[in-house]
Amino acid sequence: MGGATNCPETPRQKMIGMMYLVLTAMLALNVSAAILNGYIAVDDSLHATISATEESNAESYAQFEAALSQNAEKTQAWYDKAMQIKQTSDAFYEYVQNFKDEMVAIADGADAKKNATLHEIKKQDDTNVPQQYAIEEGNAAKLKDKIHAYRDFMIDITGESPALDREFMQTFHTPRGTNTSGDSITWEESMFHEMPMCACISVLTKLQNDIRHSEGRAVRYLLTQTDAGDLRVNKFSAHIIPSAKNVMKGQKYSAQVLFAAIDSTQALEYYVNGQKLNSNGVYEVIANNVGPQKIKGQIGYKDPQGVMQYLAFEDDYMVTEPAATISNTELNIIYRTHPNPFSISVPGVSSDLLEVKCSHAKVIKQADGQWIINPPKNTPDRLTIEVYANVNGTMLAMGAQEYRVRDLPKPSAYFEVDGELIDEGKVSFVKLKNPNNKFIASYGADGLVQAKFEIVSFQVRLPSGTSISVQGNQFNKRALDAISKLQLGSTIIIMSIKAKGQDGAEQSLKSLVIEL
């Protein structure tokens, strides 16, 4: 279907608009009889233009009907919009006609005619009726709202067309005016205040003309949009687009075969490696052979003369063995009763699609790519971590790795003073008596494993040989009182230190020697 062209305002329409402006200006100068005849001529010309525009619009709607019958899939949405424009324009046009009929009925009474042209109106020079009906009864304000609503509707339904937007904004503009004294007045007053019937009827007929003209402009624009997506090219090419260039063994290789620059409604024939595909052009094959793979084919299409033509294409892809990356972020062994952190990934597969299994340990998924492997006390000396991936709905084994399993090594006891770990040496009386200082069990600041332990009890051996038992991990009052009585340079021994790990079992730690 050939693209329809937008029709700008014709010279005739421009001339009529100019005549209306001149006549309105002359009327303001109280030029009466000849001007009334001038308005009649303008009104008749406007009606003639409206009739011609309606015939043109009917042709546009007929083109839409024909396009719809030929290709409903491509045309339906635009046709529906055109019908909305027709319905809205007809309703607004009739609203304006009723506005005119109501004024004529008041002015001419029993002699009034429906849909009367200006020369059929008896009281053409009446200035009271427009004032009464339009301004005093508020109908002019309602009309202005209708104008704005119609303008906004037309801008919205035609979509991305800056030229039409500007045209509709200008055509259905309702600016304030000025009176003979130069004072600003409303649009309603400028159109209907002390204006004779002939001027007001012409104004309304011009509005009807604007409605029909804008209706035609919008419908012809929509006609062009039915062809906007059509490709008009003189060169064609074939493409195959794979979902991935690297495919693991056992996984499907999937690719989209495309014929570029062609109407999607045309039926095409697809052939890949000697196999004819279905109409969607999707090619799939199980990748059983590791290494580089070749893919060749052709696309058949009909040229404008209906003769089948064929375009060839080819591509390659790589098939690799399944592989998983498994690493212990702390050590190369796994500790019992300890939440061993692991980073696990599979190239090309999201961590959300991974599943990690370990038959003798608890597996806990953390953030992206992070897992916790926590074996219990009685775990065997070796564990195997297995990784699976969800590939197109099928769980495939990505790899496995065996690890040695050991008990956590025994920690060392430290006296934590202001965040510093002390295992021997001098400590001042002030720091020693700080209630925030405590004894901890740890692998030290440089420890490769960060496990949690808790000091549950210890004994303080004084220089006199007296021992004081303490529960918990801080000096009690008795111990602090005894230490405060010692001389500078005295030595105390922290001994019989008991610590409890995450498994709840207690173990004895080496003593600490602290010099005051």
How many other CB atoms sit within 10 Å of the CB of residue 40?
Answer: 19
- Domain boundary assignment for the chain: 11-226, 237-320, 325-406, 412-515
d(CA 85, CA 226): 16
* Angle at which helices 197-226 and 33-70 cross, to 10°: 20
Give 510's pLDDT tier (boundaries 50, 70, 90). confident
Closest to 130 in 3D by CA, of 111, 148, 104: 104
Closest to 92 in 3D by CA, of 42, 143, 165: 143
Supply angle C-alpha 199, 202, 206, rounded to 5. 140
Secondary structure element (H or E) that encloses residue 258, with its range: strand 252-260
Whether 237-320 shares its CATH topology with 325-406 is answered yes
Q: What is the pLDDT of residues 4-39, one digit of tens each?
A: 444 555 655 555 555 555 555 444 444 456 677 778
Handedness of CA 91, 94, 100, 103 (dihedral sign): negative
Q: What is the pLDDT of residues 138-189, one digit of tens each?
A: 999 999 999 999 999 999 998 778 889 999 999 999 998 888 788 899 999 8
CATH topology for the 325-406 domain: Immunoglobulin-like (2.60.40)
Identify residue 97 by its one-letter amino acid code.
Q
Supply angle C-alpha 24, 165, 172, rounded to 5. 25
Give 300's strand partners: 269, 310
How many other CB atoms sit within 10 Å of the CB of residue 250?
Answer: 15
End-to-end CA separation in angstroms for the chain: 101
Q: What is the pLDDT of residue 244?
A: 59
- SS3 call for 210: helix
Q: 369-396 burial by CB neighbour count: b if 16+ within 10 A, else e?
A: bebbbbbeeebeeebebbbbbebeeeeb
Question: Going by C-beta distance under 8 Å and a sequence separation of 6 or more, which residues neighbour residue 4?
Answer: 60, 63, 220, 223, 224
Percent of the chain with pLDDT over 90: 23
CA atoms within 13 A on the CB side of 57: 24
Q: What is the pLDDT of residue 274?
A: 78
**Could you tell me how far CA 184 lies from the centroid of its own chain?**
47
Q: What is the pLDDT of residue 28?
A: 43
- Give the β-pairing of 246-248 and 308-320: parallel
d(CA 288, CA 342): 31
Distances (CA, A) of 142 to 1, 100, 133, 136, 149: 42, 14, 11, 12, 11
* pTM, entire model: 0.45
Q: What is the pLDDT of residue 229?
A: 47
Check pLDDT > 90 for residue 315.
no
Backbone phi and psi for residue 262, each to the nearest 5 degrees, phi listed first: -140, 150
% helix, strand, coil for the chain, step of 5: 35, 30, 35
Give 446's pLDDT tier (boundaries 50, 70, 90). low
Residue with tokens 């007296």: 466
Check pLDDT > 80 for residue 415.
yes
Backbone phi and psi for residue 421, each to the nearest 5 degrees, phi listed first: -95, 125
**Least reliable range by pLDDT among 16-25, 94-103, 365-374, 419-428:** 16-25
CATH code of the region 237-320: 2.60.40.1080
Region class of 504: left (phi > 0), else alpha (psi between -120 and 50), else beta = left
Mean pLDDT of 253-263: 64
Distances (CA, A) of 287 to 101, 220, 245, 377, 396: 79, 53, 12, 44, 14
| Tokens matching residue 352 | 């959300």
- SS3 call for 459: strand
Q: What is the pLDDT of residue 23?
A: 53
d(CA 401, CA 326): 7
| Tokens matching residue 73 | 């899939």
d(CA 103, CA 197): 8
Mean pLDDT of 301-313: 71
Q: What is the pLDDT of residue 303?
A: 60
Residues counted in the chain: 516
